[in-house]
Amino acid sequence: MNSTEFTTTLAKKLELSRLEAGIRLDDLLSVITTELANGHVISITNFGNFEVKKRNERISVHPLTGKRTLLPPKMVVKFKPSVSFNKKIKELDHE
């Protein structure tokens, strides 16, 4: 599902126009991005937690050439799904 399809589905669910749904989605993503950039953890009930963590430097090996490269440390966003989210995903395996 791409962003246009997602916005269309969201608009139908919220009974809004696609434009209004797109604006609300952009606002939501802006808030999430800003809060994560400020070092906050975002916990969404029945969905999961978003958190920014530091990834330590590490050595990467190119699979074709075998060349080793030192990758510098960087900040990454981690997502930890909630128990109910995981349960719904596991139920999909049985269908």
pTM score of the predicted model: 0.77
Distance of alpha carbon 55 from alpha carbon 79, whole angstroms:
14
pLDDT in tens, 8-63: 999 999 999 999 999 999 999 999 999 999 999 999 999 999 999 999 999 999 99
pLDDT class of 95 with cuts at 50, 70, 90: low
- Which stretches within the chain are classed as H helix? 3-14, 18-37, 83-92
Tokens of 6: 């997602």
Distance of alpha carbon 62 from alpha carbon 68, whole angstroms:
7
Q: In a 10 Å sphere around its CB, with 0-12 CB exposed, 13-18 middle and 19+ buried, how is residue 21 labelled?
A: buried
Q: What is the pLDDT of residue 91?
A: 86
CATH 4.10.520.10 at 44-95, yes or no: yes
pLDDT in tens, 66-86: 999 999 999 999 999 999 999
Position of tokens 């590490």? 58
